[in-house]
Amino acid sequence: MKPSGESPGYNVRLQPECCKFDSKIQAYVKTKGTRSQSINVITLGCSKNWVDSENMITQLQANAYEVSHEREDSSSEIVIINTCGFIDRAKEESIQTILEYAQMKQQGALDKLYVTGCLSQRYKDQLEQEIPEVDAYFGTMELPALLTHLKADYRHDLIGERILTTPAHYAYLKISEGCNRTCSFCAIPLMRGKHISQPIERLVKEARHLAAQGVKELILIAQELTYYGLDIYKERALPRLLDALAEVPGIEWIRLHYAYPNKFPLEIIDAIKRHPNVCNYLDMPLQHISDPVLLNMHRQITRQETIDLVNRIRDIHPELHLRTTMLVGFPGESDSDFEALCDFIEVTRFDRLGVFQYSHEEGTTAYQMEDDVSAETKEQRMSQLMQIQQQISAELNEQKIGQNFKVLIDRKEGDYFIGRTEADSPEVDNEVLIHAAEQYARIGDFAQVTIDDANEYDLFGSIVKDRK
């Protein structure tokens, strides 16, 4: 059921360590307020932006605004665009969206237009000059200022509560903000600042609120998961956080995204094994395997150390599903560097792979290098890697035929109910399709499913036993 030519199972459209650049999501938030003005929030970019929008919507709603998210009829008086700005394509989409709404404002379709998020943080001065139709721009940490501008109070009592824009049964839990790493290609620290962990108690409180709302799957996100706790607890505290979250009643799956490989704490793998409700799934973006490229990327890890780490993780936990992301077309990436990367992917056989192309970003260390791999070569290398992974994925999926899996039903689309196994994260990984004409599945419930057929993208199954 993935769009052809762009299978999120193998190629997250654009994905550095920590960013999913997903299509727009749809949600409509009804409010009980009496304030006359209505606000439509538009979210671009990654899951961290979704969480930011959810917090913003919660605060605005508590201040009696009528708030919608991604409303299509464009009838709101105020529009707030939460932008993304980490690579060219994301920036283009954000600017295009701002221009569209600026034009609507000029035509009188809305009264006020505000822009927040990463693009606004990074290029505020330029944007103010070039798109003056926007009433005000705010940075990534300026929600209180945005609220003040709207004559709304920042409600500290709502910290840990939020209105979801995802389906009701799963939610992203942002455990930290920012990043202390210095990957030379990455602009995210320029926009999100240094790493700041959220305390365990606050995250547990948030998880309890979410579970009470019906959330069954928590997807832990951060720019860099393994750094969690080093700032506030002076130790890597992700295993401790997992111990606490695993106890929250109602949470059946906890999933981990974006772990940096250098000095990877193997205690995380022990924690995954220890808790049945922590998914056997780890997203560890490796970016490359060739030593010269890794060195220039400032990844602080070598080819051999990477291979040793993957082997060690698989030794400790053979059932773990490993997802990784690779970056092609980094300055100086030679044919032999790329061949080494292809060989590594073929031999290592990751369960999931995302590939993205290098984007030459001002302000990053790599910007001082020459962007010497042509756009055509970047495209060709990305597609070659995807083809290799496609074959691997088809083979891995084939092996699942005849087996039973616990599947979380996400939605109904066309003739199918569509769900995921614990090896699959929403939006980016494989899906399980169940014929809706033959069987009924309740959205948001788990079902036990036998896999009857498979292709490189999807599994096709039938429900053997409902788990209410």
Site residues for ligand SF4 per CB under 6 A: 16-18, 179, 181, 183, 186, 188-189, 223-224, 260
Cβ atoms 459, 420 nearer than 8 A: no
User: What residues pair up with 42 in beta bridges, in sequence order?
Assistant: 81
Beta strands in 118-155 (DSSP E): 136-137
User: What residues pair up with 344 in beta bridges, in sequence order?
Assistant: none
CB of 273 to ligand SF4, least distance (A): 25
- Tell me the two tokens of residue 33: 């307020």
CB of 215 to ligand SF4, least distance (A): 26
Q: Half-sphere exposure of residue 80, counting CA atoms within 13 Å on the CB side?
A: 27
State the residue number with the nearest CB to ligand SF4. 17
- Tell me the two tokens of residue 156: 């500290």
Tell me the residue type at 219: I
Nearer residue to ligand SF4 within complex by CB, 7 or 223: 223
CB of 227 to ligand SF4, least distance (A): 8
- Tell me the two tokens of residue 413: 């689309």
CB of 178 to ligand SF4, least distance (A): 8
Tell me the residue type at 331: P
Phi, psi of 184 (to 5 degrees): -70, -20
Sheet with 66-69: strands ordered across: 66-69, 38-43, 78-83, 112-117, 136-137
CB of 130 to ligand SF4, least distance (A): 27
Cβ atoms 188, 16 nearer than 8 A: yes
CB of 407 to ligand SF4, least distance (A): 31
152: left (phi over 0), alpha (psi -120 to 50) or beta: beta
Phi, psi of 224 (to 5 degrees): -155, 105
Nearer residue to ligand SF4 within complex by CB, 262 or 448: 262
Tell me the residue type at 62: A
What is the rounded CA–CA span in Å between residue 341 and residue 333? 10
CB of 192 to ligand SF4, least distance (A): 8
Nearer residue to ligand SF4 within complex by CB, 17 or 161: 17
What is the rounded CA–CA span in Å between residue 64 and residue 165? 18
- Tell me the two tokens of residue 204: 């547990």
